[in-house]
Chains A and B, each alone.
Chain A
Amino acid sequence: DQQVKQNSPSLSVQEGRISILNCDYTNSMFDYFLWYKKYPAEGPTFLISISSIKDKNEDGRFTVFLNKSAKHLSLHIVPSQPGDSAVYFCAASLNRDDKIIFGKGTRLHILP
């Protein structure tokens, strides 16, 4: 039973435009949410996180939005760059010290 769902296996976006990656979760006890980026032959790299007391967190080109009532979060990348092409994992945990539950990932292709 997937507690963290990424329903789009892949997404293609033109360079310079906005990339929006979506994620839904089922466990209302999740308190901490993260996005990781993964290139082939590398481990996941932490991108950005948000705690449940916030609805937005921004770091440079990356912004994460959290809608607790809808149990939905999204990652916005603007402007998208070729180096952003990777697999993006949405993840959640009960708190910062707890195990991380990952979604299946969304492969983002940035088109020239």
Chain B
Amino acid sequence: ETGVTQSPTHLIKTRGQQVTLRCSSQSGHNTVSWYQQALGQGPQFIFQYYREEENGRGNFPPRFSGLQFPNYSSELNVNALELDDSALYLCASSLEGNSGSNTEAFFGQGTRLTVV
């Protein structure tokens, strides 16, 4: 078990609605990344937050947004949900900085979002 926890584990939403997914990073980690894993695909990078600021973004529209809080936990918000947003959403935390003590990304168990 990695210490990265995500909530909820499963969620069903209607097209057009908004959703917020949550992630608590592993203790001591300052960086959170979010990934979308569609069925039969590998995880795709959505964005990364480092010390509460967005630090890189993948090819996702602006209706995907995020936040990182002072305790390094994070939220992923998706507005105007579309059917194709149905996927497993993964949060990963890591420690990054100049100290040379960077860690690998450790993933949570994911939130399975179904849009109907």
Counting contact residues on chain A (CB < 8 A from B), the size range is: 20 to 34
CB of A105 within 8 A of CB of B110, answer: no
Chain A contact surface mostly: loop
Q: How far is the CA of A91 from the CA of B105 in the complex (A)?
A: 11
- Given A43-B4, A89-B43, is A49 in contact with B104 using a C-beta cutoff of 8 Å? yes
Q: Given B35, B41, B105, B109, which contacts A42 in the complex, CB threshold below 8 Å?
A: B109
Q: Given A4, A44, A49, which contacts B107 in the complex, CB threshold below 8 Å?
A: A44
Q: Which of A57-65, A70-78, A95-103 contacts B (4 or more CB under 8 A)?
A: A95-103
- Given A43-B110, A45-B2, A99-B56, is A105 in contact with B42 using a C-beta cutoff of 8 Å? yes
Per-residue contact bits, chain A 90-112, to B (CB 8 Å; 1 contact, 0 not): 01000011111111110000000
Q: Looking at A4, A36, A49, which has the most chain B CB atoms within 10 Å of its CB?
A: A36
In the complex, B44 has a CB within 8 A of chain A: yes
Q: How far is the CA of A89 from the CA of B45 in the complex (A)?
A: 14
CB of B45 within 8 A of CB of A99, answer: yes
Per-residue contact bits, chain B 27-61, to A (CB 8 Å; 1 contact, 0 not): 00001010100001111110010000000101000
Interface residue tally for chain B (C-beta within 8 Å):
26
Q: Given B6, B41, B58, B108, which contacts A99 in the complex, CB threshold below 8 Å?
A: B58
Closest to A91 in B: B42
In the complex, A21 has a CB within 8 A of chain B: no
Q: How far apart are A6's CB and chain B's nearest CB, in angstroms? A: 8
Report, nearest first, the 3 A-B pairs whose CB atoms are least far apart. Answer: A102-B42, A43-B107, A99-B45
29 contacts between A and B (CB under 8 A): A4-B42, A34-B104, A36-B107, A41-B109, A42-B110, A43-B2, A43-B107, A43-B108, A43-B110, A44-B43, A44-B90, A45-B107, A46-B104, A46-B106, A49-B104, A96-B96, A97-B31, A97-B96, A98-B56, A99-B33, A99-B48, A99-B56, A100-B43, A100-B92, A100-B105, A102-B35, A102-B43, A104-B40, A104-B42
Kindly list 13 other residue pairs between chains A and B, CB separation below 8 angstroms, not including A4-B42, A43-B92, A97-B31.
A34-B104, A41-B109, A43-B2, A43-B4, A43-B108, A45-B2, A45-B107, A46-B104, A49-B104, A89-B42, A89-B43, A98-B56, A104-B40
